[in-house]
Amino acid sequence: MLGAITGDIIGSVYEFVDLKPEMDFPLFVNDSEFTDDTVLTVALADSILSNLDYKTKLYEYYHLYPRCSYGSRFHLWAARNEQQPYNSWGNGSAMRVSPVGWAYNDLETVLLKAKESAEVTHNHPEGIKGAQATAASIFLARTGASKFQIKEYIQNNFNYDLSFDLEELRKHYRFNESCQDTVPQAIYTFLISDSFEDSIRKAIYIGGDSDTLACINGSIAEAFYGGVPENIAKEVYKRIDSRITMITNNFIEKFNTR
């Protein structure tokens, strides 16, 4: 899950600007900070660690961090006393799911828990699919699957088209908050990468909803490449608070995330 937090922080400065940086952009600048992607990822990790339901922790963390850049429908959901899902296909279900990909030891359970984590809010089939595809990619990556095997599984089981061209994608891709136009791009940019850092750079390079795209991408890259490089992780820890640090470290220790 540290890879997800890393992608969120690196992508945070590009989320709402019409700018696609060159590949050699600085990974961290003064304004790099965690957003709702990190907060809700940690909420799910805390839910798993404490054995409390996802809804309880998502609601709790929203109120602990009320000023993060949540989507408008999530704001409304968290303000209600009786929260009901709102049939969303937004990429929020995929951005927060990475702890699920690490916490369970068989793919069937990962898919089930990913569905449960999504449908608290994102109970549209595309919202569920985005979370499941992301969690499955993480599970496969951390259990030794090749990139070819990950690609084949995602294409065959989720019907995502992963046959992009990087430069064409950069040219035509625009800001999009849906799972169906964020998750495939996040997986693709991971698949064509050659390191964790390169994976994040390619995700940011194409533009779009950069923090969420890089969050999803980084969660898979961490699992495949054996962790977040130490020099990058050090910069991430400078930018998260004590609560997020504690939950992240407890999760890493318990589930032996690399």
Q: What is the pLDDT of residue 18?
A: 63
Tokens of 180: 């169906």
Q: Which pTM was predicted?
A: 0.97
**Number of folded domains in the chain?**
1
Tell me the average confidence (pLDDT) per consecutive run of 10 residues in the chain, 258 residues long: 97 82 95 97 98 95 93 89 87 97 97 98 98 98 98 98 96 92 98 98 95 97 97 98 98 82
| Separation of alpha carbons 41 and 94, rounded Å | 10
- Spatial contact of 160 and 94, defined as CB atoms under 8 Å apart: no
What is the distance between the alpha carbons of residues 114 and 130, in angstroms, rounded to a whole number? Answer: 9
Question: Over the chain, what HEC string results?
Answer: CHHHHHHHHHHHHHCCCCCCCCCCCCCCCCCCCCCHHHHHHHHHHHHHHHCCCHHHHHHHHHHHCCCCCCCHHHHHHHHCCCCCCCCCCECHHHHCCHHHHHHCCCHHHHHHHHHHHHHCCCCCHHHHHHHHHHHHHHHHHHCCCCHHHHHHHHHHHHCCCCCCCHHHHHHHCCCCCECCCCHHHHHHHHHCCCCHHHHHHHHHHCCCCHHHHHHHHHHHHHHHHCCCCHHHHHHHHCCCCHHHHHHHHHHHHHHCCC
Q: What is the pLDDT of residue 167?
A: 97
Alpha carbons 211 and 92: distance in angstroms, whole number: 11
| pLDDT at residue number 41 | 98
Domain carrying residue 16: 2-255
- C-beta atoms surrounding 50 within 10 Å: 12
C-alpha–C-alpha distance, residues 11 and 216, integer Å: 11
CA distance 245 to 175: 30
| CATH code of residue 162 | 1.10.4080.10
Q: Point out which residues pair with 36 in neighbouring strands.
A: none
